[in-house]
Structure 1
Amino acid sequence: MSATTDFVAAQNQNRRNTMVLLAVLTVLAGGIGYLVGALLETESSGSLPAVSQMGIAAAGLMAAVSIGWSAISLAVGDRMVLSMAGAKVIEQQDAPQLYNVVEEISIAAGVPMPRVMVLETDALNAFATGNKVGNGTIAVTRGLLNSLTRDELQGVVAHEMAHLRNLDTRYMVVVGVTVGLIALVCDMALRTMNLGRMRSDDRKGSSGGGILIIVLLVVAILAPLAAKAVQMAVSRQREYLADATSVQFTRNPNGLISALGKLAEKAAPFPGVSRATQHLFIVNPIHQFTSKTPALLATHPDIEDRIARLRNLGG
């Protein structure tokens, strides 16, 4: 099997996995909206409807709010992230090798040249942001520039360019907004549920309403955890996809393999990094993850696993 066939297959598999996870997240959000609407309709009518019209409306409202919230986040989110990180735009004369590497990978990827920015920190890391392919930014740390060889830098840049071409930044904004919305609605449901009314309804024989409240209580407790687990799974799948796409651009997995080894040793927190942005970086700057890290916590795959997959591409 050729190398091309191998990494294209890896990309396709990861895209399918991501779409499945996004579908699960969407169903979860709609289901919570439906349960909340059905509970309100049951309490107002005194009986549990076979199909709740208010539930359907609430599910639609969840979807509409998620879309609107995502649109706002996509419009301003990249500027906020870059500002928080303290990234500064550079020109070719400021870092010729970095600028030239970004240019050549941009050509290989078939995407417009993104802005190039540098974060003035000794930590080794990089990230990409942008709401569309033609409006992207690749930012690297000064420590990374000073520590990597050209081949290693090329592998890192290709990984970040892959995030832009594959629209990973857009995916993760939508996923993050949906997860946040699920957590918000569940928190509101838990805070506003009137258990006294449930007992009152039960005394009146409204067993359907009581059962629905119990179901909603269970879902409101477990859904945010499930949504967060899906968010982390999507994030890990997009990292695998970017690794595979990087090889497609460079035809040289060894550069990224070597770079990941250095990043695993020297990645560290730095000013401007937070839990809200940790998933954007090529390696998590706050936590190191291994194969034993709980799935609920891991924004990135185990680096050893990423390296093993890269070595198997074309094998």
Structure 2
Amino acid sequence: MKKVIFAEFGGPDVLQLVDAEEPHAGPGQVRIAVRAAGLNPVDWRVREGQILGAHPIELPAGVGQDASGVVDEVGEGVEGIEVGDPVFGEGASTYAEFAVLSAWARMPEGLTFEEAAGYPSVVETALRIIREVGVRPGQTLLVSGAAGGVGSAVLQIARDRGIAVIGTAGAANQDYLRSLGALATTYGEGWVERVRQLGQVDAALDLAGSGVIRELVELTGDRQKVISIADLGAPEFGVRFSGVAGSVPQALVEAVDLISRGKLHTPVEKSYTLAEAAAAHRDSQAGHTRGRRVLVV
């Protein structure tokens, strides 16, 4: 089978598409014929060797953790799923023609494989950081870097829970944020005052890592009410960096519920082939994503 790997840490060009042995489902796992793999910032952080403490790996290594596809092997002890079922979930080395998933759910009706591949890690992260920041219905959440995959999910989940949201993003994404129910404003000089004009901020999330932790603390007035998933220097300001996943199976259950109720839809901004993995990583690292990027098999 074809699989994307890297044999050394570095930039996008270390990614290679190679012939590899097919993986097989172990106990409590399923294998899928991959139809699409989600691209997450953690993928290129791992490729660069940024977070080896949280993600120790042995080189050469595969890439990717999110995927959608059709079940073609069911491991020992797995119930409620059969060969031929369309699923989406999380596993390892998902930039490949076949991948093993350790957490999965049946795809909701009407969802494409490309769309489904973009949800697992994004929804888990969004649910986790909304919980960790402690924002409640009736309060206002500020989301810095709101137009990407996690931001899109946060805005919609918060809205479903009765939480008001202020989102910051580039000028081209202002209408997109408003379409997801957020009050929107742009980055750049004067952004703190523009946020203040939109309302009181009770909690804040940093999703872009653009050096705004100090300002988010200023706006909330409480370091405990700020969470970052993108700025590794956040702890220097007394702000929590959230990088450890919670229950992915439970997140997938909630994702299915939200999608089925029409409360969550994240568009796929761009699709790539496995051979274009390096280009996909370059685009992801450049930022300014609206929704999700996926690799299609």
Q: What is the TM-score when the length of structure 1 is the normalising length?
A: 0.24
| Larger strand proportion of the pair | 2
Higher relative contact order (CA 8 A, sep 6+): 1
| Larger helix proportion of the pair | 1
